[in-house]
Amino acid sequence: MWILFRCFQMIKYKCRPAVHTKIVCEYCELINFPLPDEYNHFKYLADTDLIGFNTITNLLRYIENNCDNKYFFIDLIQYFIQRIIKFTDIDFSAEVSDAQKLLAFTQFYNQVSDLNWHNIETQHSLGLVAKRAPQAIASKYDDLFIYACLTHILGCSLTKKSSIIIELPFERSFYGVDVDLFDNVTFNCQSMSVIVAKDERDVNPVMAENKLTLSSSDRVKAAANSMPPSALSLPNLANSIGVSERGLQRELRTENCCVKDMIQNTRMNSIITILKNNKGNIKKSAYESGFKDLPSFSRYFSKSTGCTPTQYVRNNICNNL
């Protein structure tokens, strides 16, 4: 009974790397599209830092609702692809078969994200299948990203399309104006799937899939990374994860982790990273950390570090510029 209770109590917060959200934030800055303050801190995270799984979906929905360019996503996608392919660090050269590229893409993302992907293999083909939530709560952007990345990786052309089958889970209308991105696909197929033909290089069977394994503290840290430093607190963190404050504290204690220490360390590490990236510009860093005014930022910084922001910049940043 105790084992069953512990399993039930495990933190379920879903994660993915910050890189996807960072790319969208970078692109918005490039085209001078203003984002809400709550997204300022994401650009200072490392690409591999974990954040909330739905952060990028919420960001893209905000843009879609507030951007005058209804084709924003289609314009974004080429910038996104070039950046994300470098992040994967997978060999997508012509010397690698389409089946091997598809397998590498699937396995890489299963290792860094909470994705419901798996491969299917027959004697003559290999497929990626991404199961989807019911349409009412699903995100069209996941399908759009997979399609755009894989058609780029596989080098789809008029001569190759017969050897690549792409199926989408929902009807055309679900994808709105972004449906223009798709070519030669089948709609309303329950799952997102990409199936490629094998060639003479594909003699070995598919290896066992490696899924992302994270502790509860890893998932809580991802939730903390998803918040502006100024908003990070025990009540806000517990609420974002969907557990009680006491339940969150109890869960992390089983991993010898103190949630209050995690919150404090995450807040200050984020603030200091922002301050360093802004080359000691205190006013800009206070704003991008989510503080409403400079005095409140200075008070928090001084209380946490024992020195004022000005003293910290003089002692730790100016000397290194």
The predicted-structure confidence for 248-284, as pLDDT tens digits, reads as follows 999 999 999 999 999 999 999 999 999 999 999 999 9
- Do both 103 and 196 map to the same domain? yes
Q: Give the whole-number percent of the chain exceeding pLDDT 90.
A: 77
Residue among 147, 312, 301 at smallest CA distance from 229: 301
Phi, psi angle pair for 195, to nearest 5° = -120, 130
- Do both 63 and 137 map to the same domain? no
- Do both 82 and 2 map to the same domain? yes
The range of the structural domain enclosing residue 161 comes to 93-213
- Do both 140 and 195 map to the same domain? yes
Q: Which CA distances in Å does 108 have to 57, 58, 178?
A: 20, 24, 26
Q: Determine the Cα–Cα distance for residues 32 and 133; give it in Å rounded to an integer.
A: 33
- Do both 198 and 51 map to the same domain? no
- Do both 81 and 149 map to the same domain? no
- Do both 143 and 3 map to the same domain? no
Number of domains present in the structure of the chain: 2
* Domain end among 171, 194, 213: 213
- Do both 219 and 83 map to the same domain? yes
Any domain includes 262: yes
Any domain includes 298: no
Residue 159 has pLDDT above 60, yes or no: no
Bridge partners for 196 per DSSP: 126, 164
Residue 96 has pLDDT above 80, yes or no: yes
Q: How many CA atoms lie within 13 A of 319 on its CB side?
A: 6
- Do both 121 and 61 map to the same domain? no
Bridge partners for 164 per DSSP: 196
pLDDT bin (cut points 50, 70, 90) of residue 204 is confident
Residue 162, pLDDT score: 61
Any domain includes 316: no
